[in-house]
Amino acid sequence: MADLLTLNDIAAGYGSFRALFGISLAVGLGEAIGVIGPNGAGKTTLMRVISGLLPPESGDIRLLGEPITGLPAHRIVEAGIAHVPENRRLFPRLTVEENLRMGAYIPAARKQIGERLDWVYGLFPRLLERRHQLAGTMSGGEQQMCAIGRALMSRPKLLLMDEPSAGLAPLAVEGVFNLVRRIRDEGFTVLIVEQNVQQVLELVDRAYLLEAGHIRLSGPAAELRQNEAIRKAYVGL
């Protein structure tokens, strides 16, 4: 399987605070990869580095073999990476459709905005029903659906999802994981950061355990589900 994304020896942080230490990982074309770990492990920092919101201090990031290290965020989106941020970050006073249109601001997507909207509405019929509703008035699960739809408007090669189940009711959490399964079925490559370890390990192909800015374990999700340390620390078994 060809690698879509590779990170080699990435270090990053905020001022004098170092959040990531020598992170190396790979995401193959068509794979779903999970990054699990406790709060404060550096998971959101990792996503911000990949999407260009935070330049790494050192290391190398490549998309389909082409270097993208340190590119500004809009260039990363143009290259084919879309980011669904933690807490969704919708524009609450804009309608669902206006939020979706924001996801198609890159020139390639703007030319096909009608087609992209039809495709996202086909994937998520609930958004079609809510298209004239203000995004801030929807439920948490519906807002997460809108945030995912907005990211998909650019038809990315890689979808980054940062804690998509955070702050949602249990039923909505199940709905979000079902959405991710549907996105996988559409052929998208997904890198998902998630504290809901048990559910994400049932969804992804492989996973990395990130603790205190270091990758402590990696491997097929089925193996990590059986790992005694992970079961005790993160699954509560």
Strand-pairing partners, residue 95, are 134
Band of residue 35 on the pLDDT scale cut at 50, 70, 90: very high
16, two tokens:
């004098």
* All domains in the chain, ordered by first residue: 30-54+71-235 (3.40.50.300)
Share of the chain above pLDDT 90, in %: 70
Q: Examine the pLDDT at 237 and tell me if it is beyond 60.
A: no
Query: How much is the pLDDT for 236?
Result: 60
Q: Positive or negative, the Cα torsion across 157, 59, 221, 199?
A: negative
From the list 204, 170, 177, 197, the residue with the least C-alpha distance to 38 is: 197
156, two tokens:
């990315």
Q: Cβ of 131: how many Cβ atoms within 10 Å?
A: 16
For 148-184, how does the pLDDT look when each residue is reduced to its tens digit (9 = 90+)?
999 999 889 999 999 988 888 888 888 888 888 889 8
Band of residue 233 on the pLDDT scale cut at 50, 70, 90: confident
Which pTM value belongs to this model? 0.92
100, two tokens:
């979706």
For 136-150, how does the pLDDT look when each residue is reduced to its tens digit (9 = 90+)?
999 988 999 999 999
Specify whether the CB–CB gap between 160 and 50 falls below 8 A: yes
For 190-227, how does the pLDDT look when each residue is reduced to its tens digit (9 = 90+)?
999 988 898 899 999 999 999 999 999 999 999 999 99
Q: Cβ of 30: how many Cβ atoms within 10 Å?
A: 14
Specify whether the CB–CB gap between 119 and 182 falls below 8 A: no
